Amino acid sequence: MSLKITHLGTGSRGNSTLLETDEVKILIDQGFSGAQLAKRLGLLGIKPEEIDCALISHHHGDHGGGASIAQKKWKMQILANERTVQELNLDPMLTTYFGSLDMIRIGDELSVLPVPVPHSGSDNVAFIASYRGERAAVITDLGSWTDELVKHVYGCEHISIEANYDENRLNSGPYPFSLKERIRGRGGHLSNNQTGQFLAEVCTEATRSIVLTHLSEKNNSPHLAESTVLYYISDVFDGDIHISLQDGPEKTHYIGKELPQADEVPIENNP
């Protein structure tokens, strides 16, 4: 079986992504209420009790606000960095810390690498999932990027990344100037143009699918995000591009060969 990547919904009102193999089911972020998470998983035929663990990128409510709820309702194991755990006041008996660039092994074949990204007021990370010789990146809430991030995302078979705002819409929109400055700052969010520029650096012939996530409902639109990004990557990418919006679950993407590579040695996770 391949690794299946399904966004349960992305945006300012909640984010969560399901990674599923024939052995494990994990969440990247849990920014939904308990009822919303159960509903969205239920549309995929999955119960919250079946989730092995959730990895939280940072403590902001739309990404980690439902982590404590998941612990209380379903005893869900949560993995996060130290600041995120402290800010979310998570149950220590159901929580495991990770550090930046600590390889997290989950089951026999899935591993996830947290990579630091700049985002104001948080210790945010992107996640790079590796499964049977292929990789998927889930990146959100960043106003810029680092050489470290480029190195780890380069050549990923799947990339999910935010395209938060269109610059013209943000500039002419209703937000106060201070908020506009925060959004477009280094610790804010990526514009459609920035996302296109980043993808042009990291996409290779190996990249088969891209999902644009976390689109602002006031300052962006799906057609603007897609057309802007494609302007930058049309020479290097001819795969599938999809838009993730607030209501999900959405289209499932796949990575991973059907058989493990001979040089892969599975290591058990001990969260």
> What pLDDT does 261 receive?
42
> What pLDDT does 137 receive?
98
Average confidence (pLDDT) over 94-119: 96
> What pLDDT does 120 receive?
85
Percent over 70 (pLDDT), the chain: 94
* Of residues 216, 180, 30, 187, the one with CA closest to residue 121: 187
Q: Read off the pLDDT of residues 156-195 as tens digits, 9 standing for 90 and up.
A: 999 999 999 999 999 999 999 999 999 999 899 999 999 9
Q: pLDDT averaged over the chain?
A: 94
Higher model confidence: residue 5 or residue 263?
Answer: 5
Least confident segment among 125-134, 222-231, 253-262: 253-262
Residue 25 scores a pLDDT above 80:
yes
175 by Cβ neighbours in 10 Å (0-12 / 13-18 / 19+) ranks as middle
Residues 6+ apart with CB under 8 A from 175: 183, 218, 219
> What pLDDT does 258 receive?
58
Residue 235 scores a pLDDT above 50:
yes
Where would I find the H helices in 92-219?
Answer: 147-153, 167-172, 177-184, 192-202
H or E segment and range at residue 78 = strand 78-80
Residue 263 scores a pLDDT above 70:
no
Q: What are phi and psi of 226, to 5 degrees?
A: -65, -45
Residue 121 scores a pLDDT above 90:
no
Q: Which pLDDT band, with edges at 50, 70 and 90, does 271 fall under?
A: very low
Q: Enumerate domains of the chain plus CATH numbers.
A: 3-255 (3.60.15.10)
> Residue 158: what residue type?
H
Residue 254 scores a pLDDT above 60:
yes
Average confidence (pLDDT) over 230-250: 96
Residue 111 scores a pLDDT above 80:
yes
Task: List the strands of the sheet with 110-116, edge to edge.
Answer: 104-106, 110-116, 125-131, 134-139, 158-162, 209-213, 240-243
Model's pTM, two decimal places? 0.93
Residue 216 scores a pLDDT above 90:
yes
200, two tokens: 């042009």
